[in-house]
């Protein structure tokens, strides 16, 4: 058997039937060249034992994994830049498989105690660039290789920073020449497989509500509640909304702490588990800039860096509108009103985690958050976003390192003094993490657009993948060191 004994198929979404998705055939590609294989992610669902040939068979030709019924293009609608679109759905991807998470312990811990547990999270394998579906409209159902590389990089960087994110499981080059209007063409093609907790989107509910299908909304509520928020009582749509609000607040706060701009926060790009996915025109901040946008077509700045909390909340209100088919408005409104307080709590927690210090209580934690943002604002012309978190990780324990490093002359002035005072109030959280070699480096690991373009240029011009794999290895070292 190609999969390990830990693999446990559990195709729950497929069992909902053809009103929620369409059985599709994957594209037949001229080539299947394995470019990225994420064995650490694969091990969480028992797929790390696949040979490269088996890997390509399952994730390049999409031969079904054991116990999986075959791919389904999920049906959903969505607000795209706040304009409702009833004609979308999985247009260049599909849900390929669902299985239970098996590795519930930290990497390196014994797995035999958890291998057969029934309560592992349900995880999806979803694709991007796997061919046309009934929802492709005029598209070719393909993904550019550059787009695949960018998604691999975004997911790895976000995971290293503690952001809930999909994992780029596989990237396979497919040997087609694609024409695109917004980049040099023809360009190389690829198919991506991502691993994530759920592909059920806000837009999945919107489609059911659009057709007035109370029965479908009820089915989705129970499906999502039982599989992703089991603490919610059966039939309690407001409590389910509250759980999704909380998860979304956590995700948004961690985007902000990471200096990340998703770029396209449409209702079909947010899911019910509060997990970031589907990376198109993303960016990381070079330095503090509330109006920084990732997408060249976001001309009004709707999804700019500092407007992301507003955008997520607006999308949550659309989800709440769907749930009015099965619940009274008042408790749904109460659930929505929880977003603001939850976001502020999560933002404090996210900044403390990024700075590597423990909580000292709401007042002190807020003081540190305010002081950090004030310093980033004031020093925006002098420092990039990421170096502050690199230099001052673990607070007082990094003093000598930061004040003798390449930015020593920047760390001065009244605003810095306020930051340092607020930071030193807090105890370092596991300061032994500073023993990692990553903190001996003068510069942090970043993901700015010039480096992304340089990594792609080496692949495009010389088929040189070394820079990409070196970058992924460094990001994995950061993830492990900070974990």
List of residues 6+ apart from 399 with CB closer than 8 A: none
How far is residue 362's CA from residue 340's CA, in Å, rounded to a whole number?
A: 15
Beta bridge partners of 188: 177
Q: What is the DSSP string of 162-202?
A: T--B-EEEEEEEEEEEE--TTS-SSEEEEEEEEEES---BH
Residue whose tokens read 């990376």: 279
List of residues 6+ apart from 446 with CB closer than 8 A: 284, 384, 386
Q: Which of 194, 82, 107, 205 is nearest to 143 (CA)?
A: 194
How far is residue 296's CA from residue 264's CA, in Å, rounded to a whole number?
A: 11
Q: Give the number of C-alpha atoms closer than 13 A to the C-alpha of residue 427, restricted to the C-beta side.
A: 7
How far is residue 230 from each of residues 118, 146, 216, measured CA to CA in Å?
Answer: 14, 38, 19
Neighbour tally for 106: CB within 10 Å: 8
Neighbour tally for 351: CB within 10 Å: 23
Q: Is residue 177 a contact partner of residue 186, using CB atoms and an 8 Å limit?
A: yes
Residue whose tokens read 């059985």: 23
Catalytic residue list contains 87: no
Which residue in 6, 10, 90, 268 is the catalytic one? 268
Beta bridge partners of 276: 165
Beta bridge partners of 190: 143, 173
Q: What is the DSSP string of 205-233?
A: HHHHHHTT-HHHHHHHHHHHHHHH-TTSP
Q: Is residue 327 a contact partner of residue 398, using CB atoms and an 8 Å limit?
A: no
Residues classed as catalytic? 268
């Amino acid at each position: 058997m190609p999969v390990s004994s830990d693999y446990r198929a559990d195709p729950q979404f497929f069992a909902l039937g053809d009103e929620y998705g369409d059985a599709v055939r994957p594209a037949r590609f001229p080539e299947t060249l394995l470019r990225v294989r994420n064995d650490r992610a694969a091990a969480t669902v028992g797929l790390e034992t696949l040979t490269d040939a088996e890997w390509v068979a399952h994730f390049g030709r999409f031969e079904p994994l054991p116990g999986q019924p075959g791919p389904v293009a999920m049906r959903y609608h969505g607000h795209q830049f706040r304009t409702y679109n009833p004609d979308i759905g999985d247009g260049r991807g599909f849900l390929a498989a669902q299985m239970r998470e098996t590795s519930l312990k930290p990497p390196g811990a014994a797995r035999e105690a958890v291998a057969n547990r029934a309560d592992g999270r349900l995880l999806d394998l979803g694709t991007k660039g796997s061919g046309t579906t009934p929802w492709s409209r005029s598209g070719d159902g393909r993904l550019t290789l550059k787009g695949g590389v960018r998604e691999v990089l975004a997911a790895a960087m976000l995971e290293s920073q503690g952001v809930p994110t999909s994992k780029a499981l596989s990237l396979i080059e497919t040997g087609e020449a694609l024409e695109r209007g917004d980049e040099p063409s023809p360009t190389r093609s690829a198919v991506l497989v991502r691993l994530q907790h759920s592909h059920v989107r806000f837009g999945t509910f919107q489609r059911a509500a659009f057709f007035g299908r109370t029965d479908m909304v009820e089915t989705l509520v129970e499906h999502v509640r039982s599989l992703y928020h089991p603490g919610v009582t059966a039939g309690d749509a407001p409590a389910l909304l509250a759980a999704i609000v909380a998860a979304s607040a956590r995700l948004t706060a961690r985007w902000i702490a990471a200096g990340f701009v998703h770029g396209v926060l449409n209702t079909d790009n947010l899911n019910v588990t509060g997990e970031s996915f589907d990376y198109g025109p993303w960016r990381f901040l070079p330095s503090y800039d509330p109006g920084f946008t990732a997408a060249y077509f976001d001309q009004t700045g709707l999804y700019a860096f500092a407007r992301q909390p507003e955008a997520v909340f607006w999308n949550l209100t659309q989800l709440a509108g769907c749930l009015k088919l099965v619940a009274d408005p008042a408790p749904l409104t109460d659930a929505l009103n929880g977003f603001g307080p939850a976001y502020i709590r999560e933002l404090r927690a996210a900044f403390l985690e990024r700075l590597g210090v423990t909580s000292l209580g709401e007042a002190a934690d807020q003081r540190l958050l305010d002081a950090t943002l004030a310093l980033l604002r004031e020093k925006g012309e002098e420092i990039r976003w990421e170096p502050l978190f690199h230099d001052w990780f673990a607070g007082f324990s990094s003093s000598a390192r930061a004040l003798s490093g390449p930015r020593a002359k920047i760390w001065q002035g009244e605003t810095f003094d306020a930051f340092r005072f607020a930071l030193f109030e807090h105890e370092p959280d596991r300061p032994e993490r500073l023993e990692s070699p990553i903190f001996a480096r003068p510069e942090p690991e970043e993901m700015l657009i010039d480096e992304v373009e340089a990594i792609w240029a080496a692949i495009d011009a010389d088929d040189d993948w070394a820079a990409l794999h070196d970058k992924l290895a460094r990001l994995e070292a950061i993830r492990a060191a900070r974990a």
